[in-house]
């Protein structure tokens, strides 16, 4: 039996308590400073306030002040913070994790640099750690937290630099419903699953546009969604090439994650509102309290693309959807999907 400590009691971090505990491991769920009510409720009721199913018996709950006790003797740390907690995790948590304990993060995103590059969160954390050496690994792939809790068949990829470490982490977490591929291409997997966030928003724009045209109770229209999905895959593929990670495996992980995010993610909600005519401020006000990592990713990637285009590395003509999404978010431009820029001649 291993000891698995999850730091961050959001929905995805908490969902991973299910396969971990069901595999017979000791599971410690630690809330961040923002998760106090979640930990209190979970401790009192045995259920996360956002789930409809109880945690497996035996999960232990800790407030952030008890984090060192939860880490002591752990065989694995799961980082369950959102992209808004990346710096907090780097400053408060990574320094207190012993070097012999591997870290597996659910946080999806990219950081843009001054020269137009995009780096993954594990690479960003590695820079922050300086001389300290931690095994920093990540989860990518199509997985919504509530469906993992429901034991829907799920396939993800664990990525990291050491395949033997990844195999050990897989042995802790894999179940008959949670299936895990392994990859040492951290840049590829992490880029693919981060990029899908901004593009899922773009696809959801079409849902809102159709609601505006045909009414809120109208039937869903799939032609327009499929067209933007296809353009999204083209642009993601070019961005993966830009990252030096343009493989079929990486693209398939990103495509799967894009699909599930369009149909089941929070990004869908903001995209629909924007398509219906809300500007980004109005949409965020309507969805008050919902974490929207897609906005951060879309802005950062578009910024990097523009900088790289200035240097002649990329062409803006290859990213009409991304740049339109960026204009909607940054300049509150009205949604007007550039359909003609999606077509091609071969």
Higher pLDDT residue, 172 or 289? 172
Residue 267: per-residue pLDDT: 87
Residue 72's pLDDT is 98
Confidence of residue 293 (pLDDT cuts 50, 70, 90): confident
Quickly state the pLDDT bin for 101 (edges 50, 70, 90): very high
Distances (CA, A) of 92 to 6, 36, 97, 128, 322: 15, 17, 10, 11, 34
Do β-strands 26-30 and 60-62 pair in parallel, antiparallel, or remain unpaired?
A: parallel
For the cut 70, the answer to whether the pLDDT of residue 291 exceeds it is no
Q: What is the overall mean pLDDT for the chain?
A: 95
Q: Model confidence over 324-336: pLDDT tens digits?
A: 999 999 999 999 9
Arithmetic mean of pLDDT, 300-322: 97
Please give the pLDDT value at position 210.
95
* Closest among 32, 29, 34 to 71, alpha carbons compared: 29
Average pLDDT over residues 240-256: 97
In tens, the pLDDT along 72-84 reads 999 999 999 998 9
Least confident of 39-48, 106-115, 148-157: 106-115
pLDDT at 289 (0 to 100): 62
How far is Cα 245 from Cα 344, in angstroms, rounded to an integer? 24
In the chain, % of residues over pLDDT 90: 91
Query: Mind spelling out the 3-state secondary structure of the chain?
Result: CCEEEEECCCHHHHHCHHHHHHCCCEEEEECCCCCHHHHHHHHHHCCCCCCCCCCCCCCEEECHHHHHHHHCCCCEEEECCCHHHHHHHHHHHHHHCCCCCCEEECCCCEEECCCCCEEEHHHHHHHHHCCCCCCEEEEECCCCHHHHHCCCCEEEEEECCCHHHHHHHHHHHCCCCEEEEEECCHHHHHHHHHHHHHHHHHHHHHHHHHHHHHCCCCCCCHHHHHHHHHHHHHHHHHHHHHCCCCCHHHHHHHHHHHHHHHHHCHHHHHHHHHHHCCCHHHHHHHCCCCCCHHHHHHHHHHHHHHHHHHCCCCCHHHCHHHHHHHHHHHHCCCCCCCHHHHCCCC
How remote is the C-alpha of 293 from its chain's centroid?
Answer: 8
Cα(48)–Cα(38) distance, rounded to whole angstroms? 6
Which tops the pLDDT comparison, 189 or 288?
189
String of b and e for 87-110 (b: at least 16 CB within 10 Å)?
A: eebbeebbeebeeebbbbbbbbbb
Whole-structure pTM value: 0.94
Domains and CATH numbers, the chain: 3-184 (3.40.50.720), 187-342 (1.10.1040.10)
With a cut of 90, say whether residue 2 has pLDDT above it. yes
Percent of the chain predicted with pLDDT > 70: 99
Residue 290 has pLDDT above 90, yes or no: no
pLDDT number for residue 264: 76
Cα separation of 312 and 261, whole Å? 32
């Amino acid at each position: 039996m291993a000891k698995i400590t999850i730091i961050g009691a959001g929905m995805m971090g908490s969902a991973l308590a299910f396969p971990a505990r069901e595999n017979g491991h000791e599971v410690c769920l630690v809330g961040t400073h923002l998760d106090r009510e979640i930990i209190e409720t979970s401790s009192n009721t045995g259920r996360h306030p956002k789930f409809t199913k109880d945690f497996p018996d035996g999960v232990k709950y800790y407030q952030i002040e008890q984090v060192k006790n939860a880490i002591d003797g752990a065989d694995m740390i799961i980082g369950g913070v959102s992209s808004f907690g990346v710096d907090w995790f780097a400053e408060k948590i990574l320094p207190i994790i012993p070097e012999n304990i591997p870290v597996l993060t659910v946080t999806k995103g990219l950081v843009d640099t001054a020269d137009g590059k995009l780096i993954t969160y594990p690479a960003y954390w590695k820079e922050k750690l300086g001389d300290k050496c931690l095994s920093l690994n990540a989860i990518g792939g199509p997985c919504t937290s509530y469906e993992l809790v429901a034991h829907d068949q799920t396939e993800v990829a664990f990525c990291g630099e050491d395949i033997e470490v990844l195999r050990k982490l897989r042995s802790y977490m894999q179940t008959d419903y949670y299936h895990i591929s392994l990859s040492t291409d951290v840049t590829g997997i992490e880029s693919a699953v981060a990029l899908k966030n901004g593009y899922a928003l773009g696809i959801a724009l079409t849902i809102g546009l159709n609601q505006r045209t045909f009414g809120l109770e109208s039937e869903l229209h799939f032609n327009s969604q499929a067209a933007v999905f296809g353009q999204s895959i083209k642009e993601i593929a070019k961005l993966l090439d830009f990252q030096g990670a343009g493989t079929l495996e990486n693209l398939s992980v990103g495509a799967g994650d894009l699909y599930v995010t369009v149909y089941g993610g929070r990004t869908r909600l903001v995209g629909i509102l924007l398509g219906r005519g809300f500007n980004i401020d109005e949409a965020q006000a309507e969805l008050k309290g919902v974490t929207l990592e897609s906005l951060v990713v879309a802005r950062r990637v578009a910024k990097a693309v523009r900088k790289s285009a200035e240097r002649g590395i990329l062409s803006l003509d290859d990213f009409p959807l991304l740049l339109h999404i960026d204009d909607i978010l940054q300049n509150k431009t009205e949604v007007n999907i550039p359909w003609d820029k999606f077509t091609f001649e071969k």
